[in-house]
Amino acid sequence: MGLIVQKFGGTSVGSAEKIMRVAGRVKAETDKGNQVVVVVSAMGKSTDQLVGLAKEISSQPNKREMDMLLSTGEQVTIALLSLALNEKDVPAVSYTGWQAGIVTEPVHGNARITNINTEAVQGQLSAGKVVIVAGFQGLTVDGEITTLGRGGSDTTAVALAAALKADKCEIYTDVTGVFTTDPRYVKSARKLLSVSYDEMLELANLGAGVLHPRAVEFAKNYQVKLEVRSSMEKIEGTVIEEEASMEQNLVVRGVAFEDEITKVSVLGLANSLTSLSTIFTTLAKNHLNVDIIVQSTTDTKTANLAFSIKTEDLLQTLGVLEDNKEQLNYEQLDAENKLAKVSIVGSGMISNPGVAAQMFEVLAANNIQVKMVSTSEIKVSAVVEEKDMLKAVEALHKAFGLSVAS
């Protein structure tokens, strides 16, 4: 008998019919004699609908109250799935994140899991029940409800798998696995049989929506056996493991992209040793994530700084910088909207020089201007105009041979 954690996303539980289908999948595992913990997201687009309601009332809703609101979506799903399983004579119990013992840091809207007390879940498993846990949510030590950020149900599932020492964690979604790029936008994208933790972490951080980055971090740190599978088709998915065992001949394994990026420029910044640390410490204290950073020195006394952020964080970022202008000691702020980030990822890049040069040649040949660049051992990212994003993705996907099966 094994212990399996299964996670089903919003599209997989988007209707009563789909919930009954999920119940059938869970029952198939219990029929094999396995213990099962199921983590679910809110049904369909219900989270988006809740966000829409909040924005009808407030243009900048209070983050604590947003957590209180959004955490209700998953509670609907867990109760319905529990009812469905019991209808199939499978004993089941539904738990909110806090009932399942998930403790988070005191950050509303994007909290990290700090601890999981598995006593309640293990007790129910020992009693022969399937435990259904609401993803995306937890509780602080002070009893405040928090959410883990969009896609946080993946994190809940992998964290539970790690805490329970599960034999396997299966992420069920509306695609059949991890693809070379998003198949909804690039028809020639193909499924990969395996991806390394490091490659998947880069892809997830760079916009590939199939897995939440924190989920991949948990999987890597605790060596959780992870598989991305289709909730609709009973076929092999993509295995996420320490070192990808298939398709080693691919230098670039995937192309990721993300829209709604804004470039913020801090002009006339005092050219001192502490200028950068002061700015980014100030932003970090306000839980603002900065991505690509470029600094240029204009003379011995001043420098210009540019960094990219998500467009949804622009107003808050400008507000924080303006509120601290005297301390930060700069002359002017500037922002450029309607940008996107396009990235190539592959562990083969470590031993193959010239990959970045090839990427920029492809972009130049397609008349795509590069605004900012960021690199690591296994990825190269370029910020481009949003209108050029998909053209860049398709060109890079073709240039690196990702649409041709090896």
pLDDT at 220: 94
Residue 320 pLDDT greater than 60, yes or no: yes
Locate 204 and state its tokens.
């997830």
Token look-up 């040949």 returns 365
Domain 3-174 has CATH 3.40.1160.10: yes
pLDDT tens profile 261-270 = 999 999 999 8
- In whole angstroms, what is the distance from residue 142 CA to residue 97 CA? 15
Cβ-contact 271, 319 below 8 angstroms = no
Residue 112 pLDDT greater than 90, yes or no: yes
Instruction: Report domain extents, the chain.
Output: 3-174
Report the range of poorest mean pLDDT among 82-96, 266-280, 375-389.
266-280
Phi-psi region of 372 (alpha: psi -120 to 50; beta: other; left: phi over 0): beta
Whether the model clears a pTM of 0.75, i.e. scores above it, the answer is: yes
- Cα 201 from chain centroid? 9
Residue 196 pLDDT greater than 80, yes or no: yes
Instruction: Give helix 213-222 / helix 197-205 axis angle, nearest 10°.
Output: 160
Q: How large a percentage of the chain has pLDDT more than 70?
A: 98
pLDDT category at 352 given cuts 50, 70, 90 is confident
Residue 89 pLDDT greater than 50, yes or no: yes
pLDDT at 318: 96
pLDDT tens profile 358-406 = 999 999 999 999 999 999 999 999 999 999 999 999 999 999 999 865 4
pLDDT at 406: 44
pLDDT at 244: 66
Average pLDDT, the chain: 93
